[in-house]
Amino acid sequence: MIDRDAHQHRPLCVLGSTGSIGVSTLDVARHLSIPVHTLTAHTRLEALAEQARVHGVQRVVCARGEDVGRLRGLLADQPHIEVCGGAAALCEAAGDEHCPTVVTAIVGGAGLEPTLAAVRSGKRVAIANKEPLVMAGELITAEAMHYGATLLPVDSEHSAIFQCLEHHRQSDISQLLLTASGGPFRTIHNLSQVTVEQALNHPNWSMGAKITIDSATLMNKALEVIEAHHLFAIDVSRIEVVVHPQSIIHSLVAFADGSLMAQLGAPDMRTPIQYALTWPYHRSGPVACPDLLAIARLDFETPDHKRFPALELGRHCAQLGGIAPVIFNAANEVAVERFLAQDIRFVDITHGIAEAVDALSSAKYGHSLEDILAADAEARSWLTGWQPR
C-alpha cells in the first residue's frame, strides 16, 4: 500500500541540530508534520534547549559529557526530556529504535561514529555530513548493505544525482556531473591575500563556516566527488565537476544513450533535506520551485585547477585509496580551523593538505574503524604543527 505521508510516522533524530542543516531540517519537519524525537548539538546549548522545547522532543544530547549539567539546567522546566551527553550517548541516540530516520548534520569527521551507529541500526540515514563517507566510504556502504540501512543523500548535488538515477539503476551510466557554484573566488585571480570575511561570503548558499570555506577552496567539491563515488558506486574517473555559477542545476547524470537527467531547484537546502525525509515521494513543502524565466540564463564553465588545486588533489587521494582520503579530510579540517583563526593564509589550506597527503598517505594503516581513526588523529596532529613556507 502506498502511504505518501509515511514520513509523518518516522520520528527524527537530528545529529547536529543547531547548525545550518539542522535548523533547515527542523523547518522542514515543522512544515511536513514530522515528529522530532532526538536532537544533538556540540556547543550551542541554549539553541538546543530552545529547539527541544519548540519541537517537543523526547531527548537531547550534548556532544561533551561535561555539558550535561548545564543543559539539564536549561531544560529544568521540561522534566520529561531526557538529557544526556558525550560520545557514547551520541552513538546511542543515533542507534535508538524510536527514531527510524537519522539526519547526520554534524560537521566534519566527528560524525563518523554516530553515522556508523545509525547505519548499524538499519535506519534511513539522511547524510548531510559528507566527511564520514570520505574517511570510511567502503566501511559505511558495506555496513549499510549488511544492516539494511538506506543511505539518503542530503548534499544538494547528491540528492540531484539520486533523483536522476533512481529509476535508472539498470541503465548505462556514462558520467556523473557534479555542479559547483565556483564559490566566492570564481572570478578573483589572485587568492594570496583574500580574507576570512571574503571567504565566508558565499554567492548563492547560506551555510555553516566550515563548508563555506570548503566551497571557497573547492575542497567541498573534492569531498563531494569522493562522497558520490561511495554513494553511487562509480569510479571517480567518471565523476566530472562543472562550474555552474547560478547553483540552479544541482547535478546531472549522463547516460550512454546521450541523455542527461538533471535535478534543479532553488539554492535552499530544505529541498534536498525534505526529499531525504519524504523519499520516494515529492510532497508539498516550504520551498518554491525556481522561476526559470526570472533566472533567464544558466552558465557552465570548466573549473580552474590552477587556482583551485583541491579538486585534483581529492581525485588523486580517491585513486590512491586506503587512508589517503582520511588524511585529505583530516588535514583540511585542521587547515580550515587555522585559516578561520587567521593563523594561515587562504592558499595555505590546500598547500598544507597536499603536504600532509605527501607526508602521511603511505603510512601503514588497515581498513578498520580503529585504523581510520588513528590515521585521522595523526593527520590532525601533523597539520596542527605544520608551518607554511
Q: Which is nearer to a second copy, 247 or 329 (CB)?
A: 247
CA angle 385, 388, 389 (to 5 degrees): 130
Among 297, 306, 364, 389, binds a second copy (CB under 8 A): 297
Which DSSP state fits 301? Answer: B
Tell which one of 142, 167, 188, 368 touches a second copy (CB under 8 A). Answer: 167
What span, in angstroms and rounded, lies between the C-alpha atoms of 51 and 237? 43
Backbone angles phi, psi at 345, to 5 degrees: -80, 165
Minimum distance of a second copy from residue 24's CB (angstroms): 12
Q: Reply yes or no: is the peptide bond before residue 132 cis, omega within 30 of 0.
A: no
The Cα angle at residue 334 between residues 331 and 339, in degrees rounded to 5: 120
Nearer to a second copy, 146 or 283 (CB): 283
Does position 30 interact with a second copy (CB under 8 A)? The reply is: no
Q: Is there binding between residue 247 and a second copy (CB under 8 A)?
A: no
CA 43/CA 62 separation, integer angstroms: 8
What phi and psi, each to the nearest 5 degrees, are found at residue 200?
Answer: -85, -5
Coil, helix or strand at residue 384? helix
Residue 288 sits in the site that holds a second copy (CB under 8 A):
yes
Which listed residue (34, 112, 249, 375) binds a second copy by CB under 8 A?
Answer: 249
Closer to a second copy by CB, 188 or 292: give it: 292
Residue with cell 541540530: 17
β-partners of residue 15 are 40, 104
Residue 269 beta carbon to a second copy: minimum distance, rounded to whole angstroms: 11
Query: Is position 385 an interface residue for a second copy (rule: CB under 8 A)?
Result: no
- Residue 145 engages a second copy in binding (rule: CB under 8 A): no
Smallest separation, CB 215 to a second copy (Å): 20
Residue numbers of the site for a second copy (CB under 8 A)?
Answer: 2, 4, 163-164, 166-168, 170-175, 177, 242, 249, 252, 254-266, 268, 270-271, 274-275, 278, 280-285, 287-290, 292-293, 295-302
